Structure 1
Amino acid sequence: MTRPTKRPLPKRRPQPTAEPRTLEATVTEVGARGDGIASVGGLRLFVPLTVPGDRVRVRVRDSGGEPKGEGLRAELLEILEPGPGRGTPPCAHFGTCGGCTLQHMDDAAYAAWKVGLVRGALARVGLGDAPMAPLSRTPPAARRRARFAALKRGRRVWFGFNERQSHRLADLEDCPVLLPRLAALIEPLRALLLDVLPDGGGCDVIATDLEGGIDLVLVGPRSLDRAARERLVAFNEAAVARISWQADDRGSPEPIAHRRPVAVRFAGHPVTPPPGAFLQASAEGEAALVAAVLETVGEARRVADLFAGLGTFAVPLAQRSAVHAVEGDSPALAALAKEVGGLRLTTERRDLFENPLTAKELARFDAVVFDPPRAGAAAQAQALAGSKVPLVVGVSCNPATFARDARTLVDGGYALERVHPVDQFLWSAHVELVGVFKR
C-alpha cells in the first residue's frame, strides 16, 4: 500500500504593511481603559494620555482605513491645544510606566470620570439610574501592596512595573502611589536581585506592608542556590519581616526568612496572612469599603460573607452579627479560621464558582455579602436571585462584571438601592464599589 502524498500548501503572498498616517483629531471622551477617544473620517481612535477637548496630532497604522474591533490605537505625537481637564502629572515616570494611566487629568475631571465608569457600566445593563453615593477617595502614598517585575541584563537590574501595553520594564526610581516604606525598598531590592538573579533572569516581587514589617515573596527564579538564599536571609532585617520564594505562580511559597510575626488587623482583630495573600490595596480603601458594608448590613442577626478571603468584612461584621465566612482559597481560610476565637464566626472551604450556595442554604441568612474576584460571581448571583434573602451587598473591583451580576439580581426581584464607588487604585482605570440590593 502506498502512502498518500501530501499536497503542498499554496504559498501565501506577503501582505504589504500599511504606511502609518498622521492625523489631527479632537478627543471627545475618555474610555473605560483610560484612553482618550476621537473620531476622524469614520475612524474611531484610542489616544492614550489625552483628555476631552484635547486637539492632537497622532500617528495611526491601519490596513486600508477600516477600524478593527472597537477602533484603532493611535500614537500621540503632539497636543496642539489642551482640553480643560488637563493637569500636571506628579510622577517623572508617567507616560512610560504602565502603573498609572490618568495622572494627566486634573482632580475634578479625574473624579468625575471614575464615577462615570460605574454609571456607564450600570447604564449598559439598564441600571444607570441607581442612586450613587459620593466617590470615596484614596490619597497618594497609600498603596500597601504591589507586585514589581525585575530583569537582569549584565550588571544591571531593571526593576519596576511594565510599560504601557508592553512587556518592557519601566525602571523605577520612585513611585508616588506607594507607601513610603515600600518605595524605600526599590533600590535595596534592585541591589539584592543583582546578586540573586542569573544574567538574563527575571522574577516578580510581591511586597506587602503589614503590622510587624514588610512581607516579600519572590516569584519566578526557577531555583535558588545556597548563596542566593543566604543573601535573602540577610536582606534588610530592619524593614522586612518575612521573605518567601516560589518558582512560579502555580507553586506554594517556601519560607526563606521569618524574623518576626506579621499581621493585618480587621476591626482591631489580628490575622496572620499567608505569604503573598490578597489584601485590599490600601488601608483607606479598605476602610471605605468596610464602612459601606457595615452601614448597609446594620443589625442583621445572621450574615453570610461569600468570597471572604482573610476576613476583611467577616471579622468586622462578626462584632455584632453571627457570620458564616465562605472562601475557596485554603491558606486564606485557614488564616481566618485560626483567629476566630471570641467571634461569632464560622468558616467553610468552598469553590463558589463551581458550587455556589443554593437558595435553600441561603434561606437561613438575613443578609449576604459577596466580594468576588474581577470575573464576578455569575453562578452565585444566579442562586441569590432565586433566594429569599432580604438584603444582598455586592463588593466589586470590576464595574462591568458587577453590572452583569446586578442585572441578574434585579431580574430575580431585587432593587439596586444604592451604589458606593471607591477609588482605591489611584490614577488607574480601576474603580471599586459596593452595591446594595433589597427585596
Structure 2
Amino acid sequence: MTAELLDVEITSLGAQGDGVGAADGVPVFVPLTMPGDVARVALKDKRRNSIYTDLVEIVSASADRVDPVCVHFGACGGCQLQYMNKDTYRAWVKGRATMALNQHGFEGVPVLEPLISPPASRRRIALKAMKVAGGVVLGFNERQSHKIINANMCPVTRQELSALFDPLRSLLSATLAPKMAAGVHMTLTASGVDMMIDAPMALDLAARERLVEFANTHDIAALHWKDSGFLDPVAIRREPVMDFAGNRVPLPPAAFIQATAEGEKALVGAVFEACKGYGRVADLFSGIGTFTFPLARDHQVMAAEGAKGALDAMKVGLSVATGLSQVITRHRDLFRQPISARELEKIEVVVFDPPRAGAAAQVAEIAKSPVPRVVAVSCNPNTFSRDARTLADGGYVLESVLPVDQFLWSPHLELVGVFTKR
C-alpha cells in the first residue's frame, strides 16, 4: 500500500530538531527539514494531536539551508541537523532550552547564549561493529535502526579517533567470528587513546598477539577486551589519565567523561563562577572529579559518587594532587540513598550532575535543605526542568540557564542552572 503524500511548509523546529508544519491545523513533524523549507512527505503515523512523516523530497529549500559536510549524512543516525546554517542552529539550541523550561513554568528565566563545541572535537565515541561476509562493518547506527553505517569518517570526532576506523575494521575482521557483533569504546585522554572492545568471545593466543600489535602500531595507551562482563587488560602501554585543573586522574576503561574538551571547559567555568563567594561545596554524582578538582582549589569539597570505580580513580588523583583544599569522598548511591537535607546543613553550595534520568530523590532532599546556592548540570533539558520545578517549589529561584552543546548537530544538549534560596 502506497503511503499518502503531502506537501508541507515548515514553519518551526521541534524539540528533537524535526521541522514542524501543519495540515488542517494539526502539527506535522518532518525529519531533516527546517523553517523555510517546503517538503513533500509520506505519512507514517497519525495521532490525535500530531502527524509523523518521512521526508520524500525538498520541494523548495530554505534560504538558510546549507550542504551537509558528512558523506554519511541522511543514512547515519547522528548529526542529523548539519543542513542548518550556524545562526539557525544556534537559535534552535537556545530555543530547545527555553522550550523545556517553559513547559515546567519557568517562562522568563534568562537563557544565556549557548556554548557550542566545534566540529572534530568529540573525544569520546562508541562504535558498533559486525562481522559480515565481506569483512567488518564498523560505524554508527542508522536513524531509528540497528543497522550499522560503515563509516570511513566522522566530522564531529577528533581526528586521532577517526583515523583508527579503518585499522579497527581490519583488526576486527581478523578477530571476530562470522556474524559476531562488537562494540568499541574510544576515549582520547591526556595520555593517549583508551580503547575497550566488547565482544562475546574469549581471546586465543593469536588474537591476543594481534591486539597487542595493533596497540603498539597505533600508539594506543590502553586496550581492554570485554567478554560477557569480564574485562581483560590486553595491552596497557600507558595509564589513561584525565587532566582536571592540572591534576592527573586515572580513567577507568570506557568511563564517563565530558564528550569534548571545549564542553568540559564551559561546564567547569560556569560551575566555578557560580560557586564564587561561597564556602563548602557538595559535588554530587561527582564521577572521577571533573568539577571536584577545579573547585577544590578554592573550596572544601564533599564529593559523592555511586560508581566505586570512578570514586577510586578520584582518590588516586587526590593522593598525588597538590594545592587543593580538603576533599572528602563518599561512596553513595544517590538514587537509593540521597544525601539528606540534614547532612547538607553545613554546605553552602550543592553541585549535581546526574545521568539523563535526573536526580529526583536527591533533588527532593536539596529542596528541603537550607543550602543557599545550587548549581544543576544536566544532559537532559526535560529532567533538568522537572528537577528545577522541585527546587522552585522548595523555595529556590532559578537565576539563569546556560546551554552547552557537546553533541554538534544533534538534539542532545546540556544545561547549567544556577539557583539561589529565597
**TM-score, length-scaled by structure 1:** 0.92
Larger Rg: 1
The corresponding residue for 1:434 is 416
The corresponding residue for 1:85 is 64
Shift of 1:46: 2.1
Shift of 1:227: 2.1
1:119 aligns to what SS in structure 2?
helix
Shift of 1:378: 0.5
The corresponding residue for 2:329 is 347
The corresponding residue for 2:14 is 31
Distance 2:75 2:350 in 1: 42
Shift of 1:42: 5.2
Counterpart code for 1:34: G
Distance 1:175 1:19 in 2: 35
Residues 179-238 of structure 1: CA deviation (Å, up to 9, x unaligned): 110010010000000011111011010000012210100113343333222211111424
Alignment of 1:38-53 (within 5 A): 38-41=21-24, 43-53=26-36
Q: Does 1:246 align with 2:226?
A: yes
Identity rate, percent:
48
Q: Choose the corresponding residue for 1:256, options 234, 245, 269.
A: 234
When the two structures are aligned, how many residues end up with a matched partner?
Answer: 416
Distance 1:61 1:436 in 2: 41
1:134 aligns to what SS in structure 2?
coil
Counterpart code for 1:78: E
Residues 379-421 of structure 1: CA deviation (Å, up to 9, x unaligned): 1111111000000000011000000000000010000011111
Alignment of 1:306-317 (within 5 A): 306-317=284-295
Change (3 A) 1:378 1:226: same
Counterpart code for 1:298: K
Is the contact between residue 282 and residue 301 of structure 2 (CA under 8 Å) also seen in structure 1?
yes
Q: Does 1:182 align with 2:164?
A: no
Shift of 1:91: 0.9
Could you tell me which runs of 5 or more consecutive residues in structure 1 were left unpaired when the two chains were aligned: 1-17
1:359 aligns to what SS in structure 2?
coil
1:143 aligns to what SS in structure 2?
coil
Q: Does 1:270 align with 2:248?
A: yes
Distance 1:364 1:36 in 2: 48
Q: Choose the corresponding residue for 1:286, options 241, 255, 264.
A: 264
After superposition, the CA RMSD in angstroms is 1.4
Counterpart code for 1:194: S
Is the contact between residue 299 and residue 321 of structure 1 (CA under 8 Å) also seen in structure 2?
no
Distance 1:117 1:267 in 2: 31
Deviates more, 1:80-89 or 1:49-58: 80-89
Distance 2:288 2:49 in 1: 39
Counterpart code for 2:295: L
Is the contact between residue 215 and residue 223 of structure 2 (CA under 8 Å) also seen in structure 1?
no
Shift of 1:155: 3.1
Shift of 1:19: 3.9
Distance 1:149 1:215 in 2: 16
The corresponding residue for 1:379 is 361
Alignment of 1:285-364 (within 5 A): 285-341=263-319, 342=322, 343=324, 344-364=326-346
Distance 1:436 1:69 in 2: 38
Counterpart code for 1:146: I
Change (3 A) 1:61 1:294: closer
The corresponding residue for 1:404 is 386
Distance 2:225 2:49 in 1: 41
Q: Choose the corresponding residue for 1:214, options 187, 193, 208.
A: 193
Distance 1:386 1:324 in 2: 19
Distance 2:230 2:110 in 1: 43
The corresponding residue for 1:106 is 85
Is the contact between residue 131 and residue 176 of structure 2 (CA under 8 Å) also seen in structure 1?
yes
1:415 aligns to what SS in structure 2?
strand
1:360 aligns to what SS in structure 2?
coil
Could you tell me which runs of 5 or more consecutive residues in structure 2 were left unpaired when the two chains were aligned: none
Counterpart code for 1:26: E
Shift of 1:82: 1.1
Alignment of 1:383-398 (within 5 A): 383-398=365-380
Counterpart code for 2:19: G
**TM-score, length-scaled by structure 2:** 0.96
Is the contact between residue 19 and residue 61 of structure 1 (CA under 8 Å) also seen in structure 2?
no
The corresponding residue for 2:42 is 59
Residues 224-253 of structure 1: CA deviation (Å, up to 9, x unaligned): 3332222111114243110112125xx253
Shift of 1:86: 1.4
Distance 1:429 1:118 in 2: 11
Counterpart code for 2:43: V
Distance 1:190 1:356 in 2: 44
Shift of 1:88: 1.6
